[in-house]
Structure 1
């Protein structure tokens, strides 16, 4: 039996510092990388939602992330794998990642067949016809809660965790288990008081590998070429079918989303026009923080409690991203930006009003 476990370590750059410090204190250390027990991948430095951003911005965020990795892990450090924020895939984004020198990505199983019925062979890599990237798929069901709890059920071991006990045994037709979750599940958002992770580690015959080592292990086989569906790790089958796989971040019926995208596109456009502005550094500093996918995710008002997640509504988190977006526009010094500044302020005030009106009318003290 083999467990391939991908962990997404991330806190928004504009999050409260104590949250970042807490996550860092409970995260990995460099010696794990040196020992080969942890493999790092590339990603977008500020967790922008790549399918909805211009190609230039995608490249910029990837290269910033590469500089950060080289700073802490050596000038020759270059990962071969890449994590698309929110596992949000489109052919255009995948082609950019391939051009930047990456070899493989991990996606949610829904990207394989566009639904949750046609499933990949777990642990196998495929070739994306559009980009040439190698792709491995995570098992959504195993990843929908704390994976050690789910795996204990699958392996028919004694389950003491409440979150796992509520689930029926899973039908996994292979002895390779591929999971991918936020790393904060391990010790930050979920404490694991019954030490299910440690129990898994003691199971004889359950091995682990990094994804690159798994790719090397299967690399002698001819990989199947497939078409991959645009999707994210939270896309529903209906959203994929209706060609709206990214509704969590851009729902056209969500007025806050619509106004945020008006402000985002205005801010991005100013950067193209005023690259020589003396305050361009501060424009970028605020912009990338405002572009984090979390700003939009927290405005979706989706209920994820059934899959070990929160109710996706947080006016404070929306505002945090909103403040950085407006400050990016305000930072520019050129007098020619005045008209755009006034337009941005209009969007800003309208969004602020919508956030708190919706909060008090629909979400305040809501029981889920």
Structure 2
């Protein structure tokens, strides 16, 4: 039994220093240190180029060095991606290629010859056949997508014995096992025993489990999960493997037709045929304004004979976060929405030969986005949208916890308690409080399980 695990590290170019430092301390650094201490473990990573830049800018060079060391040891591999984390299916092809090239240039600068990517990760796992084709043409041998990209995908237990090939481009496509990934990142499989129990008789078979998750989950979003991950990676019953090595062990290849998806896609969005709903929802008026401004910025820069600094500011301004935080499903940040609109507006205003009408429209769109955001907050629309979505997510996350064995819940609580005591010794009281709250949640589940 093989476990091909994929982790994604990323922070937006607008991220503040304190958050880069905090997330690095709580998630990125512990994961990398854990891998150094467990030389048999292997994980495939995507680390977007912009995060390397932020690490250097904010004095986190030790993390860059650890990444390079783990690559040279063969414990991790780095995929290709788009440097500033744009939603690739929404971009013109030349912008897709530019973002991929910028990312490769940046990672070669930091990692050197060790950066030889075979696979490609589209940001947000936002996949369509056009992105697959571009990745193939740019030399990548495989791409990763959510299992909902494959309409006729069989049950997870029956598909881990083969490799899939996308019909149109011919690129190898690895499908993320959605449910298993979710059970790990939600904390439901927080011990080795729970992990093995969930695998069931798959453990004794010649097949692979493929999971993919945000790296921030382990220690930042989910306190204590960084230690749980290290426990899972040490299991003797499951051998970890890099995604690029899977074809060597599984020669059977099946050709498939795919459809657009992301790793945040929900069944209701699939039914409505809106695969990118959290970034481009036709019912979301802010999204409509954001994409009008985005398209205007792209066209203005591309059609300019002297774009100047606007070319580089456009690269940064295309990050996907601004649309995500405008979804209110359930995530909302007017600060992130405003910052994204501001960067796009400033990009257009920096183009010397852009007409006055274009620049005026950019100002109008920026104003409309920000004022509509305030309106949403004022009338309670943000709370309404967020509550509906958050209830669905919470129901799915919490439902399984009271059903877990008491002994395993106790082990998960112990992981968090150890970390809480450790950070308290270093007077990191805010972090200790977060860990305490998470421990109380698990203790409540433990009490339910005892009834």
Tell me if structure 1 keeps the 8 A contact 2:192–2:231: no
Equivalences for residues 15-164 of structure 1 within 5 A: 15-25=15-25, 26-27=28-29, 28=32, 29=66, 30-75=68-113, 77-113=115-151, 121-122=159-160, 124-147=162-185, 149-151=187-189, 155-156=193-194
Q: Deviations over 1:40-91 (max 9, x none)?
A: 0000001110001111100000000010111112157330000011111111
Distance 1:193 1:78, change over 3 A: closer
Q: Match of 1:328?
A: 347
Q: Match of 1:307?
A: none
Q: Does 1:313 align with 2:345?
A: no
Q: Does 1:340 align with 2:370?
A: no
Distance 2:194 2:91 in 1: 44
Equivalences for residues 189-228 of structure 1 within 5 A: 189-192=221-224, 195-218=227-250, 221-228=251-258
CA shift for structure 1 position 292: 1.0
DSSP 3-state at the match of 2:5: strand
CA shift for structure 1 position 259: 0.5
TM-score by length of 1: 0.85
DSSP 3-state at the match of 1:340: helix
Given candidates 322, 325, 346, the residue that maps to 1:298 is: 325
CA shift for structure 1 position 139: 1.2
| Unmatched runs of 5 consecutive residues or more in structure 1 | 159-168, 303-310
Pick which of 61-70 and 171-180 moved more: 171-180
Given candidates 296, 303, 308, the residue that maps to 1:273 is: 303
More helix by share: 2
Distance 2:195 2:209 in 1: 15
Greater radius of gyration (CA): 2
Q: Match of 2:213?
A: 181
Distance 1:9 1:113 in 2: 28
Distance 2:225 2:261 in 1: 34
Distance 1:193 1:297, change over 3 A: closer
Tell which has more relative contact order, 1 or 2 (C-alpha 8 A, sep 6+): 1
Equivalences for residues 250-261 of structure 1 within 5 A: 250-261=280-291
| Aligned residues: CA RMSD | 2.7
TM-score by length of 2: 0.70
CA shift for structure 1 position 123: 6.3
Q: Deviations over 1:225-254 (max 9, x none)?
A: 110111111222343344321111111111
Q: Match of 1:166?
A: none
CA shift for structure 1 position 215: 2.6
DSSP 3-state at the match of 2:78: coil
Q: Does 1:359 align with 2:377?
A: yes
Tell me if structure 2 keeps the 8 A contact 1:124–1:136: no
Tell me if structure 1 keeps the 8 A contact 2:9–2:216: yes
Pick which of 94-103 and 119-128 moved more: 119-128
CA shift for structure 1 position 155: 4.5
Pick which of 240-249 and 312-321 moved more: 240-249
Q: Deviations over 1:304-353 (max 9, x none)?
A: xxxxxxx311111111211111111111222x432100011111111110
Tell me if structure 2 keeps the 8 A contact 1:107–1:233: yes
